[in-house]
Structure 1
Amino acid sequence: MAGNIEDYALIGDCETAALVGRDGSIEWLCWPSFDSEACFAALIGTEDNGRWKVAPADAVVRCSRRYRGDSLILETTFETSSGIITLIDFMPPRGTASDIVRLVRGDCGVVKVEMHLVIRFGFGVAIPWVKRGEDGALLAIGGPDMVVLHTPVETRGENMTTVAEFEVAEGDTVPLVLTYGASHLPVPTEIDPHQALKDTEEFWAEWSGRCTYQGEYRELVMRSLITLKALTFAPSGGIVAAPTTSLPEKLGGSRNWDYRFCWLRDATFTLFALMNNGYTEEAAAWHDWLLRAVAGNPANMQIMYGIYGERRLLEWQADWLAGYQGAQPVRIGNAAHAQLQLDVYGELIDAFHQWRHADITLDGESWALECKVLQHLAKIWDQPDSGIWELRGPRQHYVSSKVMTWVAFDRGIKSVEQFGLKAPLAEWRALREKIHADVCAHGFDAAQNAFVEHYGAKVLDASVLLIPAVGFLPPRDPRVLGTLEAIERHLMVDGFVMRHDPREQPDQTEPVEGAFLACSLWLADAYVLAGEIQRAKELFDRVAGIANDLGLLAEEYDTTERRQAGNFPQALTHIALINTANNLTAAKASAEKPAMQRSKQS
């Protein structure tokens, strides 16, 4: 059975990523890209669905792990009664092929090591044809896929598994390299694993060295930025929400979704996380991906796209997989891509506005596209939608969606006013005022002194925490402060923020899912804006405190089981952590005027 979500580490080559357990088992890998079919799927199935384990044969007395400096090179040290070894796992920056390199280094004594390699293409269902290549390498071929194992270790087949046993003495380093290639092409060229280690270390040292953040949270921010880089699909600039699918929001539950796609909703959050910490090249690549993805008729704009900007993300279920610790179904693709979610229009226009302030060169067609988007939004802003949380029930007039339509027109107006662009300014100003009045009249419950989930509702929704951050109302407006107090009363569980109001499920004795970590950080941001710096720091520290030993965070946190939940690692969580750290640092530097990154241009 798969380990706890927080037991995994991330390695990757900025085109795909793998999850490595504390026991030296790689249990998730989609090859050659984030959205490809998995060849190691034990994470959401069983060992028979694919994994690659390298670990001591004898009992492990002690195990520890770390990343080598500010890199994505994982080092796991195993101590046994006979000695100590370190397993070094990494994926080099991609050349002509994608590689996973595993180096077993002898640190002390002599340790017997076992390898179990189970390759299963097609999300754990297709057993490959295995043969020896001319150079002695092991080739596994199935349909369009091929992987090649290069190692000096003698291997053998056993029960549809490739196994090996070997000894590693102090001073020895034994390499094992697995390489992906298309089965119709020549076998990929073998790489030098030791040179690959040097190249990978240099790649990450150069990239991490560009970080401009120097505040007290540098270690957390740096690890989150590296994670965000690892989730970036380098060829297109798109950033996936997570490298996994179907890790449950509620442990053992059925809210299991595929996150290996790119959400427009994350646009502005991502932009600030990159720009405010020195990564303008990545911010520009994200802009280019956005522009290509949404090009065309604004009426056809989606909430998410594939890594190249693909629009059709058909959802189906892999019934042969048991699910993460039994959580079913396992979903591939995401049907929510077809939903109407009005908030993404605001995120898109806001992102382009912030790019202008950052002096990042925009494509000449950017403003024409924005005007078309706002022209379309003017016709549909007052329709009900599926909301920020992509609920699969009836559409509603969600408050956060309406607020973000206000943001769309507000940022369009500001782009005209500040950069001399041409647009129907009077029309946009009138719409901005109309939307603002509509939200305040129908989305605010005077009895609770709080903004609610949707028009006419009594329950709350954590997404309204963004109201002060986007500049819809001042941070200390009584309605904003009342909303914060109501969220503290009804949505906080054990010090963390739920995104849904538990009162929506009166028959439930437990929340339907874990606390949503990004929402907890949004509350911290609202505290900073309101001048409650100490409360913000306490909440930030609480979220940071549940990161695993490597600084990685999933989407949610089960406060009862004290376990991470949801897809892992989650880009939005790490983006929110980066931005809140920046906000806290800026607030400490200027206590009189907190420089909130999200709203500074509002």
Structure 2
Amino acid sequence: MPAPIEDYALLSDCRTAALVSRDGSIDWLCLPRFDAPSVFGALLGDPSHGRWLLRPQDAEATVARHYLPDTFILVTRWESASGVAEVQDFLAITEDRTDVVRRIVGLSGTVEFTTELRMHFDYARALPWVRQVGTPEAPALHATAGPEAVIVRGVALVASDHAHTATFEISAGETRDLTLAWFPSFEDAPVPLDVEPAIARTRSWWQGWASSIAHEGPHRGAVVRSLLVLRALTNRDTGGIVAAPTTSLPEQFGGPRNWDYRFVWLRDAALTLEALIAHGFLEEVHHWRRWLLRAVAGEPEEVQIMYGIAGERDLAERELSSLPGYDGASPVRIGNGAVDQYQADVIGEVLVALEAARLAGLDETEFSWPLQRALIARVIAGVDRPDNGIWEIRGEPQFFTHSRVMMWAALDRGVRAVREHGMSGDAEVWAHMCDRLRAEIDERGVHPDGYFVQHYDSDEVDASLLTLPQVGYCAADDPRMLRTVERMEQTLVRDGLLMRYRTSSGVDGLEGGEHPFLACSFWLVEQYAASGRIDDARALMDRLVGLANDVGLLSEEYDVEGARHAGNTPQAFSHLTLVRAADALAGHTGRAADRR
């Protein structure tokens, strides 16, 4: 079976990503984009589904790893009985090519390494045609499957039962570079990568981006790493921000709650933008706003809740039989059926983020405000329609309180854009609809016992209600919010962490359960801080940050009983809410919470 989810580190070139286990195996790599078919798919099966292992022959060798400061260059230090060596793994930041680099450096003594390369293209549905194309002095292996090809250089590999293996020694002071370059199979293989300047360029690129992060507080390291993760999940060509670089890592081990997150959810991207805006990164916001204009194009009334990395609209969900799933959790899915859902909160999330950008100094363009105006019209057109909600329920649509509040927020931001920033639009009509929604929410979205409910005609609560103060609907110390938090603590807390909602209520229309969703607990930190429960906020924050793996990454959920990560990883939602919670503890509130 694959390694525990928390054993994986991320490599990124802001076009695609690889997951590397503590054992030195690249078990997940899709080329050349996050959402491309996998070349290495052992994460969702076993080594036969594709992997690249590189580690000492000594089975007793000990391992420790870290990223070079403020980068995604992973340094894995191996100590064996005969010596010490390190492996530097990274995806090179280049203009026009995709390269995986694995540099081995001898530190003391001599270490014998083994490498095993198993390439299984197209989600393990296509074995490549492989041939040796190098020389004894410069060995190279060329693999082709349909439109895709890779070339592996740096070591003489020997074929054995669909695998290619090699052993070699590294002594103190020696360096060996293994590289894998992707290219279209109908083109010539790229020339060998010059690794030394590639390392320098990649390190400089990441550290240059991180150098402007300003955050003071006890969790600064976690904030910086989380912002780096958000950048790592942002495609530097298109501006699209993926929710995670993986698909089908289970929310419930062995269960069917397995989803493809390698797409751009408008909600998740908007929330990511707010975290970036709060730390001064407006260029990424400008890039994503251009992506949004292209994705929505001339039909805002047909806006989807998610798109492909370049704005693709057809993301139909399919099940793969070629990959058995992480530790047997099936089905493995590519695409996501939620693309066809109506989720009424999404436009509100986008408009809240774009207002934050406007307040931070990002000027509107000739097209950006007309698009927002059209999105407000889309909100009004759907005001009487139930939706699938923030959690993408696959049961019957409902009037979710969170969704209704985000519709209110969309209209509220429209009114303020006209009245405070001189934008064009029918602010009186929007304000009237805003007031109508508030009256409805206050009447139907509040239980007789005084707490906000998950959806109308329900007595359940939902963690998404914690965002109501964040968008300015009410104060964090509003009696209704305090009662809502109390109700959550009674019904949604599992071993100190917060669930999204009670799956036993049947609202999501799915079998099985799930583990605490980490973003919800970070929201609770923010709520505690904003309502004066500072000690509770600090204690919960310390615990949550402590759940990150050894290189600072968080997945979607956390299995408390098994003390392990669950769900797709690393998850943008977990990291952006970590940043928000840390900011709240440092006394900074975002999402225009002062605009009640």
Choose from 156, 176, 182 the match for 1:180.
182
Other-structure match for 1:258: 260
Within 5 A, what are the aligned runs for 1:272-351?
272-351=274-353
Q: Given residue 80 of structure 2, which amino acid in structure 1 is its aligned partner?
A: T
Question: How many percent of aligned residue pairs carry the same amino acid?
Answer: 43
Other-structure match for 1:8: 8
Q: Given residue 149 of structure 1, which amino acid in structure 2 is its aligned partner?
A: V
Judge which range, 485-494 or 281-290, deviates more. Answer: 281-290
Other-structure match for 2:514: 513
Query: 1:60·1:78 contact (CA, 8 Å) conserved in 2?
Result: no
How far residue 272 of structure 1 moved from its aligned partner, in angstroms, is 2.1
How far residue 511 of structure 1 moved from its aligned partner, in angstroms, is 8.1
Moved over 6 A (4+): none
Give SS of 2:519's match: helix
Other-structure match for 2:77: 77
How far residue 422 of structure 1 moved from its aligned partner, in angstroms, is 2.2
Query: 1:70·1:204 contact (CA, 8 Å) conserved in 2?
Result: yes
Other-structure match for 1:66: 66
How far residue 250 of structure 1 moved from its aligned partner, in angstroms, is 1.1
User: Is 1:504 matched up with 2:505?
Assistant: yes
Q: Given residue 155 of structure 1, which amino acid in structure 2 is its aligned partner?
A: L
User: Is 1:544 matched up with 2:545?
Assistant: yes
Equivalents in 2 of 1:313, 1:557: separation in Å? 28
TM-score, L = length of structure 1 = 0.95
Other-structure match for 2:108: 108
Other-structure match for 2:24: 24
Other-structure match for 1:591: none
How far residue 452 of structure 1 moved from its aligned partner, in angstroms, is 1.4
C-alpha root-mean-square deviation of aligned residues, in Å?
Answer: 1.6
Distance 1:395-1:505 versus aligned 2 partners, 3 A rule? closer
Other-structure match for 1:456: 457
User: Is 1:479 matched up with 2:473?
Assistant: no
How far residue 266 of structure 1 moved from its aligned partner, in angstroms, is 1.9
How far residue 214 of structure 1 moved from its aligned partner, in angstroms, is 3.2
Query: 2:243·2:269 contact (CA, 8 Å) conserved in 1?
Result: no
How far residue 162 of structure 1 moved from its aligned partner, in angstroms, is 0.9
TM-score, L = length of structure 2 = 0.96
Q: Deviations over 1:505-539 (max 9, x none)?
A: 69xxx981010111111111111221222221222
Equivalents in 1 of 2:306, 2:256: separation in Å? 21
Equivalents in 1 of 2:503, 2:91: separation in Å? 42
Choose from 119, 144, 151 the match for 1:141.
144
Other-structure match for 1:132: 132
How far residue 189 of structure 1 moved from its aligned partner, in angstroms, is 1.4
Query: 1:269·1:598 contact (CA, 8 Å) conserved in 2?
Result: no
How far residue 69 of structure 1 moved from its aligned partner, in angstroms, is 1.0
Other-structure match for 1:380: 382
Q: Given residue 29 of structure 2, which amino acid in structure 1 is its aligned partner?
A: L
Q: Given residue 175 of structure 1, which amino acid in structure 2 is its aligned partner?
A: D
Q: Deviations over 1:468-488 (max 9, x none)?
A: 111111221111110011011
Give SS of 1:472's match: coil
Other-structure match for 1:592: none
Other-structure match for 2:468: 467
How far residue 493 of structure 1 moved from its aligned partner, in angstroms, is 0.8
How far residue 3 of structure 1 moved from its aligned partner, in angstroms, is 0.8
Equivalents in 2 of 1:516, 1:392: separation in Å? 18
Equivalents in 2 of 1:267, 1:438: separation in Å? 29
Equivalents in 2 of 1:427, 1:597: separation in Å? 24
Give SS of 2:561's match: coil
Structure 2: unaligned runs, 5 residues or longer: none
**Alignment coverage as a number of residue pairs:** 590
User: Is 1:270 matched up with 2:272?
Assistant: yes
Equivalents in 1 of 2:595, 2:274: separation in Å? 12
Give SS of 1:450's match: coil
User: Is 1:391 matched up with 2:393?
Assistant: yes
Equivalents in 1 of 2:2, 2:271: separation in Å? 32
How far residue 195 of structure 1 moved from its aligned partner, in angstroms, is 2.1
Judge which range, 215-224 or 42-51, deviates more. Answer: 215-224
Query: 1:491·1:502 contact (CA, 8 Å) conserved in 2?
Result: no
Give SS of 1:266's match: helix
How far residue 297 of structure 1 moved from its aligned partner, in angstroms, is 2.1
Query: 2:352·2:591 contact (CA, 8 Å) conserved in 1?
Result: no
Equivalents in 1 of 2:55, 2:595: separation in Å? 52
Give SS of 1:239's match: coil
Query: 1:354·1:601 contact (CA, 8 Å) conserved in 2?
Result: no
Equivalents in 1 of 2:538, 2:271: separation in Å? 20
Equivalents in 2 of 1:185, 1:382: separation in Å? 54
Q: Deviations over 1:131-188 (max 9, x none)?
A: 122554210011000000111x222111111110101111111110000000001111
Q: Given residue 128 of structure 1, which amino acid in structure 2 is its aligned partner?
A: P
Other-structure match for 1:99: 99
How far residue 240 of structure 1 moved from its aligned partner, in angstroms, is 0.3
Query: 1:267·1:347 contact (CA, 8 Å) conserved in 2?
Result: no
User: Is 1:200 matched up with 2:199?
Assistant: no
Other-structure match for 2:89: 89
Equivalents in 1 of 2:211, 2:594: separation in Å? 26
Query: 2:255·2:512 contact (CA, 8 Å) conserved in 1?
Result: no
Query: 1:52·1:115 contact (CA, 8 Å) conserved in 2?
Result: yes
Other-structure match for 2:580: 579
Give SS of 1:308's match: coil
Give SS of 1:270's match: helix
Judge which range, 288-297 or 310-319, deviates more. Answer: 288-297
Q: Deviations over 1:356-387 (max 9, x none)?
A: 11111222112222222222321211211111
Equivalents in 2 of 1:393, 1:399: separation in Å? 16
Equivalents in 1 of 2:141, 2:130: separation in Å? 7
